Amino acid sequence: MRVTIVESPPQAVRTFPTPDASALTQEDVETIREIFHTPLTGSFNWDYDSANAKIRRLYELGKAHNWNTTVDVDWDLPCDLNDFPADPELSALRGFPAYEALSHEEKVQFAWKAHAQTMSQFLHGEQGAMLVASQLVSCAPTADGRRQALCFVADL
pLDDT category of residue 37 using cuts at 50, 70 and 90: low
Structural domain contains residue 2 = no
pLDDT digits (tens, 9 = 90+) for 63-120: 777 777 888 889 899 989 999 999 999 999 999 999 999 999 999 999 999 999 999 9
Whether pLDDT at 121 is above 70 = yes
**CA 143 → CA 15, 55, 60, 106, 147, distances in Å?**
27, 10, 14, 54, 6
Q: How far apart are the two ends of the chain, measured CA to CA in Å? A: 34
Q: Is residue 148 part of a domain?
A: yes
What is the reported pLDDT for 110? 95
Residue 154 lies in a domain: yes
pTM reported for the whole predicted model: 0.52
Number of domains in the chain: 1
pLDDT band at 12 (very low <50, low <70, confident <90, very high): confident
% of the chain residues with pLDDT over 90 = 28
Nearest to 136 by CA among 125, 146, 151: 146
Q: Which one-letter amino acid corresponds to residue 142?
A: T
pLDDT at 14 over 90: no
- Is residue 40, in this structure, part of any structural domain at all? no
Q: What range does the domain containing 151 cover?
A: 83-156
Assess if residue 137 is contained within a domain: yes
d(CA 143, CA 48) in angstroms, rounded, equals 6
Reported for 38-42, long-range contacts at CB under 8 A and 24+ positions apart, including other chains, are 38/135, 40/135, 40/136, 40/138, 40/139, 41/139, 42/138, 42/139
Q: Is residue 20 part of a domain?
A: no
Q: 108 in a domain, yes or no?
A: yes
